[in-house]
Structure 1
Amino acid sequence: MRVLIVDDHPIVASGCRALLAGEGEIVLTDASDAETGERMFAAEHPDVCVIDINLPTVSGFELARRILARDASARIIMFSMNDDPIFAARAIEVGAKGYVSKSGDPNDLVEAIRQVGDGGTYLPTAIARSIAFAGPGFALSPLSKLTAKEMEILRLLSAGKSLSEIAWLVHSSYKTVANTSSIMRQKLGVRTSAELVRLAIESGVA
């Protein structure tokens, strides 16, 4: 099984290699940013992609969207430090087949690769339970009001990117990004981009 890891932390990539070293059938390659990851996917057609959400330029959500636009059958596992169930829900919304928290059991990643590689899906028990029993609190979270695309634009705004830069990064028009920013402010009940950035930081998007 060919597995592509896209993560900008060399220690994480090295840890994944060590973790999967005993899995003889897995051939691992890695990339450190979305652009390289997209090129490697196009060139190598891996069986499973493990993608970190927080990448240096565009996020793992955006990379997943691009990969699935190339190949709707691509098998993607989102990999993140954030175990907030909303991030897992947005990963599923984008089209990922699995979600694994870096703070969880390392064996979760091995099991996720096996199950997603076999055509299945995977969520760690704790995250699946959090989603299933989130109740009203889930809907009250500001992030629950945003789509994955809106979360991507919010993350880039919080990184100090201009609307023009964001439009270029997410392959969209300036007008679309500006309209999305306005819609986010309405959804979240804030008036300025500075307030959006503060909310992004408080919610763990930044």
Structure 2
Amino acid sequence: MKKISVILIDDHAVVRAGFRMLLASENSIEIIAEADRGEAACQLFMEKQPDVVVLDLSMPGIGGLECIRRICNRDPNAKILVFSVHDESVYVSRAMEAGAKGYITKNSAPEILVDAIQKIAAGDNYIEAGLEKTFRIHQNEVDYKNLISTLTPKEFDIFCLLAKGLTTHKIADELCLGYKTVANYGTQIKNKFNASTVAELAHIATALGILKS
């Protein structure tokens, strides 16, 4: 069986040595090259054409995110796994948007690293279990921001008042609108956000920082 060829990009020699030791007993994976910065990674990728690139985000030079972008610009089918100390959703989101196919942390168990490489080599995406939830939440927040931009000024005002817990009657009085008009606006807003209750609108407003938790 053909081994999965991997190039490892990390500016810490100790990390690369640990990675080699970890995969030494793994018959399905082979490290074919290493580099300590993004510029070298881009060159190695073109020369070696590996099955999977495993890289850190925090590196000198162009850094991990720009490295991902450059590699994916050269080859949209490139399979890149981020192996980072950062577990915040914004890092996961930015890496995946740049073109990475997977993201795991350096605190992950050895078998997760092997599993991630194998899954990505097979054409799947892979986000470490603990990070997947925060990534989905972040993606939802991005979707909410896009949806907020589609609200008219009047819809936005009513959205904010509904999220604060005001009743339809109180909103009608405050905005000098008819009760039915506000009720119709409320229905339109819920439909846009795919929300069925005012509590869901409040959650969205809190996630976006419009409403303080």
Q: TM-score, normalised by structure 2?
A: 0.61
Select the residue among 111, 123, 128 that pairs with 2:127: 123
Give secondary structure in 1 for the equivalent of 2:126: coil
Query: What residue in structure 2 maps to residue 90 of structure 1?
Result: 94
Deviations 1:61-106 (A, max 9, x none): 1001111111110000112111111111111111110001112223
Query: What residue in structure 1 maps to residue 16 of structure 2?
Result: 13
Aligned residue pairs, count: 139
Relative distance call for 1:26 and 1:129 in structure 2 (3 A) is: same
Deviations 1:131-181 (A, max 9, x none): 234699899xxxxxxxxxxxxxxxxxxxxxxxxxxxxxxxxxxxxxxxxxx
- Compute the displacement of 1:58 (Å): 1.2
Relative distance call for 1:86 and 1:40 in structure 2 (3 A) is: same
> CA RMSD of the aligned region, Å?
1.9
Is the 2:84–2:106 Cα contact (8 Å) retained in structure 1?
yes
Relative distance call for 1:70 and 1:136 in structure 2 (3 A) is: closer
Letter aligned with residue 99 of structure 1: Y
Letter aligned with residue 124 of structure 2: G
Query: What residue in structure 2 maps to residue 37 of structure 1?
Result: 41
Q: Where does structure 1 differ by over 4 angstroms across 4 or more consecutive aligned residues?
A: 133-139
Query: What residue in structure 1 maps to residue 178 of structure 2?
Result: none
Report the Cα distance in structure 1 between the residues aligned to 2:142 and 2:114, rounded to whole angstroms. 28
Q: TM-score, normalised by structure 1?
A: 0.63
Give secondary structure in 2 for the equivalent of 1:93: helix
Report the Cα distance in structure 1 between the residues aligned to 2:14 and 2:26, rounded to whole angstroms. 19
Percent identical pairs in the alignment equals 35
Q: Which stretches in structure 2 are left out of the alignment for 5+ residues? A: 144-213
Q: Which stretches in structure 1 are left out of the alignment for 5+ residues? A: 140-206
Structure having greater relative contact order (Cα 8 Å, sep ≥ 6): 1
Is the 1:86–1:138 Cα contact (8 Å) retained in structure 2?
no
Larger of the two Rg values belongs to structure: 2
* Aligned counterparts, 1:58-69, within 5 A: 58-69=62-73
